[in-house]
Structure 1
Amino acid sequence: MTDFTATKALFDLPEGIIYLDGNSLGPLPRATAARVAQTITAEWGQMLITGWNKAGWMDKPMHVGDRIARLIGAETGHVVMGDTLSIKVYQALASCLEMTPTRRVILSDTGNFPSDLYMAEGLCRTLGQGYQLKTVAPEDVLEAIDDSVAVLMITEVDYRTGRRHNMAELTARAHEKGALAIWDLAHSAGAFQVEVAAGGADFAVGCTYKYLNSGPGGPAFIYVAPRHADRAIPALSGWQGHEAPFAFDLSYRPATGAERLRVGTPPILQLAALEASLDIWDAVDMTALRKASLALTDRFITGIEAACPTLSLATPRDHDARGSQVSFRHPEGYAIMQAMIARGVIGDFRAPDIIRCGFTPLFIDAGDVDRAVEIIVDIMQNNLWDRPDYKTRAKVT
């Protein structure tokens, strides 16, 4: 069993802050600064360009990918790090469409993160030839998978409501209908044990700056199932995905397996930050994590609903259908969140009316939940959110 009191001590959290936004940007592990400093001074500073060989920089995307693989239920050697999540979505989509050449429909849901949908729209415009993105309500996805669908592209946990899709069920239906399935794990990886291999996913993608604490702009990852690893040809065929990058061939020859999904030069400093966080994650029992997460989210829901009747729960009550966040709706959600932040409870707001709070047992405990509830109840019962300065929206909400 994981000792979550011990893991909490491994994060550098500001005094007096209850941080319920690790599902958007994970907090700083205490070991990260020293790990990054070592990479800067001892590796970059002393080794200079020889660090690519001496410090193993060139191999980090695959080595770190193997550490992510445990958290998402992937086979060793089939997760690679690098680039951004949007780039990885585009790669996976393009590969799937090429592998299903007689079909033209990308199916997703209206709860998906907009950037995923934008990538799909852009790819359809580029390809022409009748390619289209079709979106349906989250609860209608299963029935919408038919013989016209080339690829199903779903984010496992809805970024606004925290609703969790059934990966195994939807993927099985996609395969039954001759389609492929891509899963975005942005709000899954580190929230609970994901099972991409057992769930039959063809591709999976995710970011690391949320629950996995790699820091702002941290690198993304992509998983390719072994059955596709030497078949998928990435549309973004970068030099790092070439069979022999330093042969400098004028034509692309894909590397073997997941390594072909590398694009540009890996972000070594951010991979170092991620490694420091993964040192914590390596010792986390994911079953214990999920149990603790559900206990915290249940506690939060019960506390808020008991005293804040104007807040409407948007997150499923069913444990199997819930990620590791709780969202409430209110017409003045933005102002309420600003009032919370002013009182030291940091969550975030998602348009049009979502007050969103993430729960990471690695650094959030029952005492934090109770204190957060106490503060939110005070804000709601005394209308403390109703101030002009709380209603002026910043660039980042």
Structure 2
Amino acid sequence: MTTLHSPAGTWQLNRFPPRTADTLQAWDAADELLHQIIAQRDDQRPLLINDQWGALLVPFAGLDVTSLSDSYVSHCAWHHNLRHNNLPETLTAISPLDTLPDTTDVVYLKIPKSLSLLEFQLAKLAAELPESTQLFAAAKSKLLTPAVRSLFEQYCSDVDVSLIQKKCRTVSAKMRSVALDPERFMSSWELPEFQLTLHHHAGVFARNQLDIGARFLLEHMPAAGVEHAIDLGCGNGVLGLHYARLSPSSKVTWVDESFLAIASTLRNIKTNLPSAAANQYQAEVDDCLAHSADQSADLIVCNPPFHQEHAVTEHIARQMFRDSKRVLRKGGELWVVANRHLPYYQPLKRLFKSVHQVAQNSKFVIFKARG
């Protein structure tokens, strides 16, 4: 499960953070198809986009390679897997809003699940890289929908889509030169019942409407008055924003592994909490609460994900629960909203002295864990 053999080489690859007996692999057939292309070329300054765990990175270790991902966890995985394979860490890691290196001679792109994120990435490539820069992309065949193909035609020339191999396809193309209007890729909508205006970068969870699980928790929020609250896995920041309104004296921290989610949250803090005191509100990227101090918070609200790109997994939620236990002060509370079918009660019960159901409806349940 951890040894990748390809025409480009052999490496040991782990997902991040590494887990004992992990049943999920750190690469897929689309990575393997791109490795076939990499092995036939002599690229010196590649730009990698959406390389989730480092499968595209390891063949270029030691070169002037730049890798872009919206996921902070992916950034951690790249360095982990370079060290794990005793490879030089000459990598330049960037996030989606950073400037692209204009010395790039080729782009390798894993097509993301989010159509809005793909368009933003293609638009940024077309605006910032030299015209005719070579691009190779790959994904499961089912992701190469007519809408996806249309985006490649819009921002690229000489677009060629391969036949299906291992249920995946590759795309070969050359970048056009197209001006970029970043605001065109921002979405916004009003939430009048909570007096909030929410802005979202491309690819951010619940970009077009309020997530129904988040709405359920908004209707059953914890009592105001804690010293420090954390919105964990914050997305657009809506839970923490509403709590900050309910409890204006509280310090609030928003945490997410998505750079674009945190950029959206920062804009939403500025829009909805314009008179905030200095240092009262903070938003930061992290792998769950890896960088949060022990016993530093009184309340954590959480709408945990159960997808990681195309993989369905509970391990992120469980990591959130473990980190919350460490970060909460004595008497602090973790409030979790989740789909009813997800088996979260027992993991919470193993960590916390008391776990109570606050509310439920036909789709969701809210748990309060203490101690």
Tell me the TM-score normalised to structure 1 length. Answer: 0.31
RCO (CA 8 Å, sep 6+): is it higher in 1 or 2?
1
- Normalized per residue, the structure richer in helix is 1
TM-score by length of 2: 0.33
User: Which structure shows the bigger proportion of residues in strand conformation?
Assistant: 2
